[in-house]
Structure 1
Amino acid sequence: MTRKSSAKPLLRASMMARISAAALVAAGLSGCMQGTPFPFNPSTSGIVPGRPGTTAQTSQIIAGLSGRVSALPASGPYAQVAHSVLVDAKGSAKAELRVARLSAQAKSKNWLPQVGPSLSLTSLGELAARILVEQVLWDNGTKRAERDYAAADVEVAAASLSAEMNDTVAEGLKAYITARKAAEQAAVAERSAARIGEYDHIMRQRVEGGLSDGSEARVLAQKLAEIRATAQADRDASATAMAQLQAMTAKPVEAISGLSDLALPDALPDALGVAKAQAEAGRIAAEAKMARAGHLPKLAAQASTGKGGPDIGLTLGVEQMLGFGTADTLAALEASNEAAKARIDKARQDDAQEVASLRAKLSALEAKAARDGAVVAQSGASLEMFTEQYRMGRRTLMELVSQYESYAQMARAQAGLKYDIALIKLEIARQHGILVDGSSI
């Protein structure tokens, strides 16, 4: 028992010594290749990495995303809603970004020697096990392309996370704004129903007194039913939107009220769709480099140890064999890069068109809100005059009802315009990723 137990540590120590010796030999052989006419120096061949492009300090795309400042006010109903929905957000983009970062960290060490077992069949038909250490000396950029691909994968995940968080805030704010719009329109409709109800009471008294026939009473009752149905529909729409918002957060949202001012910057940052297209283009370019390098020679130093002593040597080969379709394969790789660049241009063009359309709608709604506000005020003054004429007997009750009905419809529509304006501003901010501070993502 004592001999066996003492032999195991010696065996492990011997194995570790062999592995260390093989690694030193491979590293030394890598250093000896610096004087050759080929670019075998890892620092010049792209094998040894610089800082991985997975942070705001090393990636322009991530720096652009993290540098975005939220257009939402620091306090108020918008800030309350945004904070509530973000705290309870259930998206998967954050986990995907963590996976991509860990993968990039792993790939950042791909230039170091690799160690693994090697099994071979001897001429006597026996299996020989050895420990193999390999150090890539020259790979035509494969290792660098692998790191670039992993870094671009992080950039894609970062763009997806930014889009997901902005979409979450936009969804919550859209539900809130929709609820407030419906609630205010319901209040206008309820006031109108109360006024029409007064007219209906007067009409019923006139019918009972024989001053009016039943046809006018039926028409007025129908108008009252319609305005009450409109008020109820607005209340239902408000309750539905608030229920949707409440489903997004565990915090109570019933007490939140009011409307904040969403001030858009004069110069908008690139749309998140453009940033993601740029990140995907970088990933496609790195993938193309890896595929191209797979058709080119790779030189590596190998050292193995096991039974029979250490073995040192060089290996030269290609990962992908050449064939009749190799030229077309390489041409397809170049075409994929061009297609990725075209997608970036298309994303920019689509964003410019969408922003131009939204800004045109925004300007039209703002002008309509100012114009309709003046019209509603004038209609209100005219209605007061019309009411006085009715009291003096110069206007009939049905004429007054018709006048008030037109005023009520304009007032209800005008009450919703500011919320329509807020929704357009919200959409512009969502597309450009300025609903959440980039530094907090």
Structure 2
Amino acid sequence: MTRNGSFAPLFRALPVARMSAAALIAMMASGCMEGTPFPTGRSAFSPATATLVAGKSGTTVDTSAIIAELAGRVSVLPGSGPYAQVAEAVLRDAKGSAKAELRVARLTAQATSKNWLPRIGPSLSLTRLGDLAAELLINQTLWDNGAKRAEREAAAADVEVAAVSLSAEMNDTVAEGLKAYVNALKAREQAAVADRSVAKLGDFNEIMQIRVEGGLSDGTEARVLAQKLSEMQATAQADRDTAAAAMAQLRAMTSAPLDGLAGMNDLALPEPLPGALSVTKSRAEAERAEAEARINRAGHLPKLGAEARTGSGDSDIGLTLGIDQMLGFGTKAQLEAVEATREAAAARVARTEQTEAQDVAALRAKIAALEAREARDGAVVAETAAGLEMFTEQYKMGRRSLMDLVSMYESHAQMAHAQAGLKYDIALIKLEIARKHGILVDGRNI
């Protein structure tokens, strides 16, 4: 056995010849190691983007299914219109870290994809006689129970996780901008309804003042009417403040002037919906956890390597056999924990799928309820408006009091104000569903 702990030397020749032979053996051994079967059935370099990592032959690897699925998602936003303008503006000026994190993950995976190659580096040591000995060390893993393959898969899974995070970040940004825009439209329309009610109540208040001056009404009715008028004015002002705040939020997200935008686009959600981004990310994280579990498991199993040294002293080539993790009384429990990690990852994916399915079902039910309410309340508002005209004629004929007319109009105004915002509430829920499923931004643009 040589001094570096390897088995008996395999070669005794000139240093250059020995190192050339060592490099050749290492390369052949690495090729043998890469060709070994792996129980997961995944590519040795999967998953990654199609241009992320090149194999030993120079060809690109298979595209990750997760990244391919993300790239294939089509935005539900129309190609033109106010929604498209808002989305384009907020994405152009968006600030986020997900893109940088994806680049880091890609570079890391690209570096890790070469971990099957031999490692070469200098070695300096102080001899017994006090001399400094310099050597060149080549180390090649021959068999590691799939540890390096798992390292590549873990690094590539990091790319998937980062890609999903970038998709979620971009969809969140667009959703935030569109929701601010829709909230501004909702507040503007409700403010317009409230302003019309303020004008009508103002007319009633003038009539009341004339009646009070003529002695036909007392001050109590005048005060009640004045209070109703003040409340409606406050409602209109609150709506204008809400619209201004929403537009201020939108302006803070982009440098483009968007104050002139008006109207909404109808979103046609696809059926069936693509998988929720949270579920996709959970699957990518499960793949990463699976790879990390295999790394941990391989650390408790023997690995075989080749090592060669050459320098000022004797040169030699040998084999090494060892275990990364020392064996102990808790080794069995550690291996069981590795298996439990896989089960926990699968359970998290299933739980995320169930939660997202429940959330989307609840949102769809809310849309259905709001659409039914919009149709129902619209009919009631129209009927109330027709009844209000008849009530006004009766008031003019002296068969109804002014306060009765005011009370009826107040009920009509409140219902019209609420009904005006329902279509915007429906639009906001559709935007939320599209955000959760990552279809506010075209996948090819991510």
Say whether the fold is shared (TM-score over 0.5). yes
Aligned residue-pair number: 418
Q: Summarize the Cα distance change of 1:44–1:362 in structure 2 as closer, same or farther, 3 Å threshold.
A: same
Deviations 1:270-321 (A, max 9, x none): 1111001101101111111111111112222222221135322222212111
8 Å CA contact 1:134, 1:300 repeated in 2: yes
Q: In the alignment, is the contact (CA less than 8 A) between 1:45 and 1:141 conserved in 2? A: no
1:385 aligns to what? 390
State the distance in 2 between where 1:62 and 1:42 align: 24
Residues 105, 23 of structure 1: alpha-carbon distance in 2 compared, 3 angstrom cutoff: farther
**Equivalent-residue separation in structure 2 for 1:23 and 1:60 (angstroms):** 42
Q: CA deviation at 1:40?
A: 4.9
Alignment-derived partner of residue 53 in structure 2 = none
Given that 2:75 and 2:442 are in contact with CA atoms closer than 8 Å, whether structure 1 keeps it comes out as yes
Tell me, in whole angstroms, the C-alpha distance in 1 between the residues paired with 2:247 and 2:185: 9
1:193 pairs with one of 198, 221, 224:
198
Q: Which residue of 2 aligns with 1:27?
A: 23
Query: 1:135-150 counterparts in 2 under 5 A?
Result: 135-150=140-155
SS of 1:118 mapped into structure 2: strand
Taking the aligned partners of 2:322 and 2:126, their CA distance within structure 1 comes to 22
Structure 2 partner of 1:334: 339
The alpha-carbon deviation at position 25 of structure 1 amounts to 2.3
Q: Is the 1:22–1:132 contact (alpha carbons within 8 Å) kept by the matching residues of 2?
A: no
Aligned equivalents of 2:363 and 2:307: distance in 1?
Answer: 62
Tell me if the contact between 1:184 and 1:415 (Cα under 8 Å) persists in the aligned partners: yes
1:80 to 2:111 alignment: no
Q: TM-score with structure 1 length normalisation?
A: 0.91
Distance 1:22 1:231 in 2: 89
Q: In structure 2, do the counterparts of structure 1 residues 20 and 394 end up closer, same or farther at CA, with 3 Å as the change threshold?
A: farther
Residue 261 of structure 2 is matched in structure 1 by 256
Pick one of 29, 42, 45 that aligns with 2:34: 42
Structure 1 residue 284 corresponds to structure 2 residue 289: yes
Say if 2:181 is the partner of 1:176.
yes
TM-superposed CA distance for 1:140, in Å, is 1.0
For 1:60 and 1:209, how far apart are their aligned partners in 2? 82
Q: Give the conservation status (yes or no) of the 8 Å contact 2:137–2:307.
A: yes
Q: Which amino acid aligns with 1:136?
A: T
Once the two structures are superposed, residues 15-52 of structure 1 have per-residue CA deviations (whole angstroms, 9 ceiling, x without a partner) of: xxx99866632332246769xxxx95432267xx7444
Unaligned runs of 5+ in 2: 1-13, 51-61
Q: Verify the 8 A CA contact 1:19 1:131 in the aligned structure 2.
A: no
**Deviations 1:376-416 (CA, angstroms, capped at 9, x unpaired):** 11111111111111122221211111111111011000000
Aligned residues: percent identity?
Answer: 67
Report if aligned partners of 2:212, 2:222 keep a CA contact under 8 Å in 1. yes
Task: Name whichever of 273-282 and 126-135 sits farther off.
Answer: 126-135
Structure 1 residue 146: deviation in Å? 0.6
**Paired residue for 1:350, among 355, 358, 377?**
355
1:108-135 CA distance string (max 9 Å, x none)? 1111111111123434343311011112
The answer (yes or no) to whether the contact 2:119–2:140 under 8 Å persists in 1 is yes
Does structure 1 residue 206 correspond to structure 2 residue 211? Answer: yes
One-letter identity of the residue aligned with 1:212: S
Change (3 A) 1:76 1:384: same
Please give the secondary structure, in 2, of the residue aligned with 1:44. coil
1:153 partner amino acid: D
Whether the 8 Å contact between 1:40 and 1:138 is mirrored in structure 2 is no
State TM-score, norm by structure 2: 0.90
Does structure 2 retain, via aligned residues, the 8 Å contact 1:355–1:428? yes
- Higher relative helix content: 1
- Aligned pair in 2 of structure 1 residues 81, 19: CA closer, same or farther (>3 Å)? farther
| 1:323 maps onto 2:319 in alignment | no
The 3 A distance-change label for structure 1 pair 336 and 304 is: same
| Residue in structure 2 matched with residue 70 of structure 1 by the alignment | 75
Letter in structure 2 aligned against 1:351: E
Q: Supply the AA of the counterpart residue of 1:44.
A: T
The SS at the match of 2:403 is helix
> Is 2:108–2:155's contact at 8 Å kept on the other side of the alignment?
yes
- Counterpart mapping for 1:81-230 below 5 A: 81-230=86-235
* Rounded Cα–Cα distance in structure 1 between residues aligned with 2:68 and 2:113: 20
Q: CA 1:19/1:431 → structure 2, altered by over 3 Å: closer, same or farther?
A: farther
**2:47 maps to which residue?**
53
Distance of 1:21 and 1:50 partners within structure 2: 32
SS, match of residue 135 in structure 1: strand
What residue is the counterpart of 2:249 in the other structure? 244
Partner Cα separation in structure 2 for residue 309 and residue 45 of structure 1: 38
